[in-house]
Structure 1
C-alpha cells in the first residue's frame, strides 16, 4: 500500500547534475532491512509495533540509515508510520523522500473523490493539465489512460498538521492521511485510472519533493540537506473511514484547514519538461 521513495534521491530516473545515474524513486524500497523487531505492548490494548533498519551506503557519497516503525492498535481504525533518517557520515548530504501511498478498489472507482488541504495545485506536465479541472474526481478503469500527476502546496494548522482524504462515489468508504508539513512540505497526487489489469490505482504522496528528477528540484528548494550526524523525523497517520459519518467528518477537517478558500488551479507546470528533455 505504501512505498518509501528515497532517501538518497527520489523522482524520475535520469542523470543528475554531477553525472550520476539516478534510478526511479531511489533505492530504499528495494533495500532489505538489516534488523527487524516486533514489539507487542504488555498492557491492553496491546499495541503492535514493527521496527526495521535500512541502510543506504554508497562509497564516498551516502551513509544514510533509516529506522522505520509501523504501529497499530487492535480495534482501532488507524495506524501510524514513524521514521527516523540519520546521516551517519562525517559530511553533510542531500536527501529526498516521497511516501507513495497507493489506493485502488473498492475505494477507487468511477466517481470517487479526493480532497486535500492545499493552497495551490499544478499539473506535473502538459498532459496532466488536460485533466486539471477534474483533479478531484476519478474515472472508472479506462483503457489508454496515461498517468496524470499533480503537484500541490499543502496548508496546515498551527502545529503543521495537514490532511488528505480519498473516498468512494457513495461517500461511505474511504481513507485519510495526516502528515506534518514541517517534515513533508509538498504533496503529489498520482492518478492512474488505467485498466484493472494494467493497474487501476491512485497515489496520495506527501514528501520533501515532487516526482521530478532531482536536478530539476534543486532550483525549487526541494532537495533538502541533512547535516553530518543529524536525524530527520517523518510521521504519518492513515485512517480507514468505514461509514458516511466518518468520511463526512474527515472532509470537514480538510475544509476547516482550507478556511473557506479554494485550491487555486495553476495551469503552468512548475518544471517545463518540454525544454529539458
Structure 2
C-alpha cells in the first residue's frame, strides 16, 4: 500500500453530490499549501479484486516549458487518459485500443502557463500551449480575441492556463466503482470576476467512455456574464481523408467567407492539405426528448469513431472547426459545444449569446464521450442521430452572420 494511502482512506471532504460512500484523496490544496508530487493508487491497493484492474498516478514533469507541470494518468483497464491540473484540468490525450483522441500539434511539451503570455500576438498567446485533446475555454470570456469596453480579451479566455487550486481523486466504493478526477479552478479578478469552477472527468473501470461534469459558480454579489466552450480536438486515426461529421443539424452557418466556400462539403474532410487554412461552421443542433443531442466523428471506413452526447440547455451552440493542414502543422478538427460561437465577446453579445449567471448561482455542464471501435457501434450512433433529426430539414445559411 502507498505510504500515504492509510492516512487518506478515511478522509471525507463532502465533494460528491452522491450519497454513496467513496474513497477520496486530496492531491492539491492551495489553502493548505499541499501538493503530492508523486502519488498513485490501484484497485489492488484498495482491495478491489472483482472487475477490471485500474490505476491512477500523479506525477510531475521536468525540463523545458513543461517544468513544474503536474499530470494525472488514469487507466481504467481499457481506456486511459491524462488530466493536467496545472493547465485548468485540461485532458491531454485519451487512448483505447488502437484509437487515440488527440492530435499532433507543433507544440510538443505540456506547457506550464508560467511560460505563456496570453496577450502576445494581439491576443493569440493561448496558442503557445495548445496541444491537448480537450481544453476548457472561458469563463469570463471565450472565442476569438477582440476589444470589449476598451479591454483586449484574449483567445479563448484564461481557464485553460490557470492551475487548479484543489485536486481530488475519488473512487466510488459501490460497483461499478466510478473513478473521478476533480479540480477546482478559480477565476477571480478584483472588480471583474469571482468564479469558482469545480471540474470533473470520470470513467467506469473497463469502459470506453468518460464523462465531463463541471459546475461554474458566480461567487460575486453581482450578476456576471460568462462564456464556456469545450474545445475537443481530434486528429488521426479518426480524422483522415473521407472522415465525416454526423449530427442532427437544425441550422448551419459559415463562420466567415472562407468557410462559405466549403459549405457544400462542410461535414466531410480532406486529407492533410498544405495551405488549407481553416474552416469553421456555426451549428444549432436538434435535441432529443431529454434535451440532449448527440454528434459523431467517424473515420472513412465507418468502423472507428467518437460519440459526444451533451445537454443543450447549458450548451445551446456548437462549433465545428476544420483545420486539415499538413500533419506537421497540426491536422485537426474541433468538436466544440458552447454557450455561444467563437466570435469575440462584443459580437456575441449583440446576438444575445453571452449569458449571465446571477449572483451566488451555479450552472452545470455535462458531456459524455464514448470511443467507438467497431462498425456496428458506429452504425448504432448514426441511427441514434437520425432519430433525433427525425427527417427534419437542415437550414443551410450560405453567408456569415458577421464579418470580424
Q: Same fold (TM over 0.5)?
A: yes
Q: CA deviation at 1:154?
A: 1.1
In structure 1, distance between residues paired with 2:309 and 2:155: 25
What does 1:107-256 correspond to in 2, within 5 Å? 107-256=238-387
Unaligned runs of 5+ in 1: none
Q: TM-score if structure 2 supplies the norm length?
A: 0.66
In structure 1, distance between residues paired with 2:394 and 2:325: 26
Q: CA deviation digits over 1:198-220, x for unaligned, max 9?
A: 00000000000100000001111
Matched, 1:25 2:156: yes
Matched, 1:95 2:226: yes
Q: CA deviation digits over 1:211-245, x for unaligned, max 9?
A: 00000011111000001000000000001011100
In structure 2, distance between residues paired with 1:133 and 1:233: 35
Q: CA deviation at 1:185?
A: 0.3
Q: Across the two proteins, how many residue pairs are aligned to each other?
A: 272
Q: CA deviation at 1:262?
A: 3.5
Larger radius of gyration: 2
Q: TM-score if structure 1 supplies the norm length?
A: 0.97
Residue equivalent to 2:139: 7
Matched, 1:41 2:168: no
TM-align CA RMSD: 0.8
Q: CA deviation at 1:44?
A: 3.1
- SS of the aligned residue for 1:53 comes to strand
Q: CA deviation digits over 1:100-149, x for unaligned, max 9?
A: 11111001000000011121111000011111110111000000011100
- SS of the aligned residue for 1:128 comes to helix
In structure 2, distance between residues paired with 1:233 and 1:44: 25
Q: CA deviation at 1:175?
A: 0.1
Unaligned runs of 5+ in 2: 1-132
Q: CA deviation at 1:20?
A: 1.4
Q: CA deviation at 1:76?
A: 1.2
- SS of the aligned residue for 2:319 comes to strand
Higher relative contact order (CA 8 A, sep 6+): 1
- SS of the aligned residue for 1:197 comes to helix
Q: Which runs of 4+ in 1 moved over 3 A?
A: none
Q: 2:209 aligns with which of 69, 74, 78?
A: 78
